Amino acid sequence: MRILVIGSGGREHALIWKLKQSPKVDTIYCAPGNAGIAADAKCVAIEVDELEKLADFAQANQIDLTVVGPEAPLCDGIVDQFRTRKLAIFGPAKVAAQLEGSKDFAKEFMLKYHIPTAKSATFKNEKDASEYVKNEFLLGVKGIVIKADGLAAGKGVLVADGEAEALAFLHDCFDGAFGAAGAKVLVEECLYGEEASILALCDGKTIVPLVSSQDHKRVGDNDTGLNTGGMGAYSPAPVVDQQVWQKINERILQPFLHGVRAEKLDFRGVIFVGIMICDTEPKVLEFNVRFGDPEIQPVLRRFDGDLCDVLSKVAQGNLSEAKLIWSDDPAVSVVIASGGYPGKYQKGFEIKGLADAAATGAVVFHAGTALKDGKIVNSGGRVLGVSARGKNIAEAIAKAYEAVDKISFEGGFCRRDIGAKALKYNK
């Protein structure tokens, strides 16, 4: 088979690394890819928002399956375009992608299908939203969450501890800080507990969860500092024990599938459910309609099946025939970021030690890397995802950091506590 993967991050590199192991796969293209992906796939200079060009490429190159990484092209309707041309593609159609593209749409869906989630209200003007926020604090809440309705590259959510902070963010939203994405705003009850990420394949008829994982969203050790796209992840997330899994399946995944069928949504892709586990009660924080990054990195390190076969079956609507094979061994992925991330950072520094890191047995996924004068340099905020699998979580963590410590570039840094939360469950 000839495969096209769309995107340029660690997620896409991990997908390509696993797809390449499938005996079914002949050639993999990636648009646009990065310096590390270029070693595993043929990179094509088409950006993820050039939908027409991507479809032309798939048609001209007889691509048998296209796998979409990021949310933006899904929300822009890439799946609809490809299907009109009878091109096989993994991902939800535009209407279904609103589950990520509009937080209001997602909330309505959750309410309609009785999926547990935080209480919230939606506003189209600052005055009403501000009054609601003030009233919530009068009623004694300790915090509140403000969410721009649309896609805002991960910056449209604020978990506010105080009223002033919440009101200032509301003002920014309605003042155009997120463009059209902030014209509607959700004000949400703040949930407290431990977060986990559940990714589940869905073809509209069947839903099959992948193994659980947990991200580390804050930039600093012990979950301090600013929010990021994710500084590292591990799988499984021990907070999701058998009892919690059962609740997630019965109260979230099955109602989700029921809703997809009832609304006749064309959903042949992956649903990524961000969950807060509040005293063993799982509640949905958000839906995403793509694989989580970095979550998919440790998840795929544990996947021992044929990814090409599985994703093809999802795209065809035959998920019930797919075989998912998992290792019990935990896996960890540690992100190395550019100095200054998630704020401003400098690019173009040579990355040293990549071969030494790979020699330890770890797999290094590239995110923000580029080739400059024959050298691999940093070119984005999150630069690499260094992943390892072990007999237990402690071994996986040790192996990942052994490889991390071989790698260096000016300003590059990582969190030193990826996976530490899982250790406490193993005592």
Question: Per CB under 6 A, does 91 bind ligand GLY?
Answer: no
Please give the distance of CA 56 from its chain centroid, rounded to a whole number.
27
3-state secondary structure 216-253: CCEEECCCEEEECCCCEEEECCCCCCHHHHHHHHHHHH
Q: Are strands 89-92 and 267-278 parallel, antiparallel or unpaired?
A: antiparallel
Question: Per CB under 6 A, does 136 bind ligand GLY?
Answer: no
Residue span 230-269 as binding mask against ligand GLY, x where in contact by CB under 6 A, dash where not:
x---------------------------------------
Q: Which of 34, 288, 369, 378 binds ligand GLY (CB under 6 A)?
A: 288
Which residue sits closest to ligand GLY, CB atoms considered? Answer: 230
Question: Per CB under 6 A, does 215 bind ligand GLY?
Answer: yes
Give least dist CB 170 to ligand AMP, A. Answer: 15
Please give the structure tokens belonging to residue 46: 């088409």
Give least dist CB 228 to ligand GLY, A. Answer: 9
Q: Which partner in ligand AMP, ligand GLY, none is near 100 (CB below 5 to 8 A by kind)?
A: none
Please give the structure tokens belonging to residue 162: 């105080």
What is the distance between the alpha carbons of residues 234 and 356, in angstroms, rounded to a whole number?
Answer: 23
Contact between 34 and 13 (Cβ < 8 Å):
yes
Contact between 336 and 412 (Cβ < 8 Å):
yes
Question: Per CB under 6 A, does 7 bind ligand GLY?
Answer: no
Question: Per CB under 6 A, does 13 bind ligand AMP?
Answer: no
Q: Which partner in ligand AMP, ligand GLY, none is near 295 (CB below 5 to 8 A by kind)?
A: ligand GLY
Secondary element (H or E) of residue 164: helix 163-174
Question: Per CB under 6 A, does 293 bind ligand GLY?
Answer: yes
Nearer to ligand AMP, 189 or 329 (CB): 189
What are the φ/ψ torsions at residue 418 (nearest 5 degrees)? -65, 125
Per the listing, tokens 């659980």 go with 212
Q: How far is CA 318 from CA 86, 299, 315, in A?
A: 17, 22, 8
Question: Per CB under 6 A, does 157 bind ligand AMP?
Answer: yes
Contact between 12 and 37 (Cβ < 8 Å):
yes
Question: Per CB under 6 A, does 12 bind ligand GLY?
Answer: no
Please give the structure tokens belonging to residue 17: 């690394």
Q: Which partner in ligand AMP, ligand GLY, none is near 141 (CB below 5 to 8 A by kind)?
A: none
Between residue 29 and residue 58, which ones bind ligand AMP under the rule CB under 6 A? none
Q: Which partner in ligand GLY, ligand AMP, none is near 230 (CB below 5 to 8 A by kind)?
A: ligand GLY
Give least dist CB 106 to ligand AMP, A. Answer: 9
Q: Which of 209, 230, 255, 274 binds ligand AMP (CB under 6 A)?
A: 274
Give least dist CB 313 to ligand GLY, A. Answer: 24
Q: How many residues does the chain have?
A: 427
Candidates 189-197, 199-207, 307-315, 407-415 — which segment interacts with ligand AMP by CB under 6 A?
189-197
Nearer to ligand GLY, 79 or 196 (CB): 196
Q: How far is CA 292 from CA 38, 215, 259, 316, in A?
A: 22, 9, 22, 22
Q: DSSP letters of 34-58? A: -TTGGGTSEE----TT-HHHHHHHH
Question: Per CB under 6 A, does 286 bind ligand AMP?
Answer: yes
Candidates 25-33, 145-153, 288-296, 369-377 — which segment interacts with ligand GLY by CB under 6 A?
288-296
Q: CA triplet 219, 274, 199: central angle to 5 degrees?
A: 110
> Which residues contact ligand AMP by CB under 6 A?
118, 145, 147, 157, 159, 188-191, 195, 217, 274, 285-286
> Which residues contact ligand GLY by CB under 6 A?
215, 229-230, 288, 292-293, 295
